[in-house]
Amino acid sequence: MAPSSAKLPMNTDTIITDFLIIGAGVAGLRAALELSRHGHVTMVAKGGPQDNNSFYAQGGVAVALSEEDDVDLHFTDTIKAGHQLCSRPATKILVEEGPSRIHELIDWGAQFDTVDGKLAFTKEGAHSRHRVLRAGGDATGSEMVRALSTKAQGLNNLKWLGNHFGVELVIQDGRCCGAIVLNESNGTCQTILASAVLLVTGGAGQIYARTTNPANATGDGIAMAFQAGAVLKDMEFVQFHPTSLYLPSSPPFLLTEALRGEGGILRNNRCERFMTHYDRNQELAPRDIVSRAIWAEMQKTKARHVYLDVTHLGATFLKERFPTIYSTCLRYDIDITEEWIPVSPSAHYFMGGVKTDLNGASTLPGLFAAGEVACSGVHGANRLGSNSLLEGLVFGLRAGQAAAQYANTHPSPTRAAAVHQTKNSARKMSEQDVEKLRNSLRRLMWTRVGLIRTEDSLQKALDQLQQWSRKLRVPPLSRTGLETHNMLQVGLCVTESALWRANSVGAHYREDIPFSKGLKWKVHSECRQTHNTTTRSEQLNSQEKNKPARRKVRMKK
């Protein structure tokens, strides 16, 4: 919990609000709309209102609304894609409440694509039906954010604070009652007290050298919750998207799964279609299978990428159906109507995160979470494509409702909670050194805790991460410093959980243990910060109980 061990330049003013939301995106906006009915809401986020994963979501939102579909089929597909590790109650809530949330969003002005006056649905990998709604062809996330933001702009009791970075959560009498935030414009910290706190900070794809996530996806909410004592769950399950644009001179750019849903073909550098050798569903197999197949072909042909061929779909169709992808690739001198697109896997989505119940409540009283930062168990070991935006709507609302109910039954925090105890500690790392560490961290996670893992690679990564963690115990009080500290924290939890899970299931693949069905494979990992115990199983001997440790990883049935 490094930031609190240093003297922070505090703004003497304390903001008191009914509800504090840290982060933005679909889950946060939906929660804000609900909480505004119950009191004053303060919403803080680093960067601007469009700096969130939701805004960049391309493919669509999965919901059982088409004539050929029903919620039972959506439920079955989600459980299957999650390798039977999904929470069935959470999945049931997702698919059953999803249609109402989409109709609600349409009533608020969201404009989804239509054909002949009816909603247009497409099919993606591991879906048995055409159930993925889209907007603007390949700009679904931005349209959903736009509709929710427009609705929120009319609220008088919602206050937005952009360019404010969450440093740490405020705990009083074992309860979360606010947060300390860094004002990025002047470098001072401020305490915001609230009756309930909601984390909607998204994922942590930036801990990997290759990721489809925007630059702000550094795991801040996950790290803050962990440092405050909340339990994390299933951190080893990191989904790698099979197809991101591969160019040495450009960052990875997501190429939505809908490209393959519309008939795109994967080819290796020998021009061969290869998915027929890996799964009967070929290009529409689940994401973990397609990602590993691409990786295997890259190793087999000694190439850095494979190709996605959509040229046969027609120029007019591609320009109208995928306008963002067409224009982006064209900027890099790739005309997708005439050329194959170089692609390779990239870190994409965290199935794990802050452990919550079905209403978004974490294990820390007063703290709630929704969206990618949370782990309700709805995604299991591998997320079904396009379920994430739906999750944000469904569980954003439920978390907002639960937070409002919690605030009604618990007293408001007192100003005494704003007293910030500090200790003298010198900051030894410069911004330049932190940036170097950050880059090294991302390369380490990609090579040793990435798509393919082994006990040896994970142990070497863990040793290095622990060394860096000691070195960066007190980061510079800046966005770069705090983000890097959080990335280290999340990287440690991912690595320890991956080392603990001695099998392969879903997005977690151990090359040294490639089988999934084994003794107690249907279990969930949990990480909790602790000072008196460490364990990787449910059975402890007396010697293990007395070992000092900073965290524990254990399995939960």
For residue 557, is pLDDT > 80?
no
| CB distance 160 to 331 below 8 Å | no
What token pair was written down for 74? 């959506």
pLDDT at 137: 80
Note the pLDDT tens digit of each residue in 408-419. Answer: 998 888 776 665
Distance of alpha carbon 171 from alpha carbon 477, whole angstroms? 20
Q: Specify the DSSP element, H or E, that contains 456.
A: helix 455-471
What confidence tier does 217 reach under pLDDT thresholds 50, 70, 90? Answer: very high
Share of the chain above pLDDT 90, in %: 76
98-104 mean pLDDT: 97
What token pair was written down for 61? 């939102």
What token pair was written down for 145? 């954010």
pLDDT at 526: 96
| pTM for this predicted structure | 0.90
Note the pLDDT tens digit of each residue in 419-447. Answer: 554 443 445 688 899 999 999 999 999 99
| CB distance 344 to 208 below 8 Å | no
Q: What is the mean pLDDT of the chain?
A: 89
Torsion sign over Cα 487, 493, 496, 499: negative
Query: Parallel, antiparallel, or unpaired: how do β-strands 118-119 and 114-115 relate?
Result: antiparallel
* All domains in the chain, ordered by first residue: 14-237+351-418 (3.50.50.60), 244-346 (3.90.700.10), 431-516 (1.20.58.100), 523-557 (no CATH)
Q: Specify the DSSP element, H or E, that contains 347.
A: strand 341-350
Single-letter amino acid, residue 426:
A
Active site residues: 287
